[in-house]
Amino acid sequence: MPREMPSQRGGATVLEREDQQTRKRQPLYRVLLHNDPVNTRDYVVATLQTVVPQLSEQDAVAVMLAAHNTGVGLVIVCDQEPAEFYSEQLKSKGLTSTIEPET
């Protein structure tokens, strides 16, 4: 709710509104790629770049290697709706993907 702040201007009192509205940020979600013993590394990299166009080839390789070496790689952190979309697209192309809230 805006507060009204009185001020003096040329002998008249003017009411100015002070906005105290703060937008609550939506929680972000992590899109995860899980290790894939079936598909080739090249396929995984190409699929990551197709599904998440903002990933460079170098970034996609890093995600693939993280999944290969540790079992899971972080693809992207974004709002829930795009996170769900990216994860579903990866799944539709034969990769294992999940999302989780960013902490």
| Residue range 76-94, pLDDT digits in tens | 999 999 999 999 999 999 9
Q: Per residue in 38-86, pLDDT tens?
A: 999 999 999 999 999 999 999 999 999 999 999 999 999 999 999 999 9
Over pLDDT 70: what percentage of the chain?
78
CA distance 100 to 87: 11
Sign of CA dihedral 89, 59, 75, 95: positive
Give the fold, CATH level 3, of 24-101.
Ribosomal Protein L30; Chain: A, (3.30.1390)
Beta bridge partners of 44: none
pLDDT the model gives residue 103: 81
Residue ranges covered by each domain of the chain: 24-101
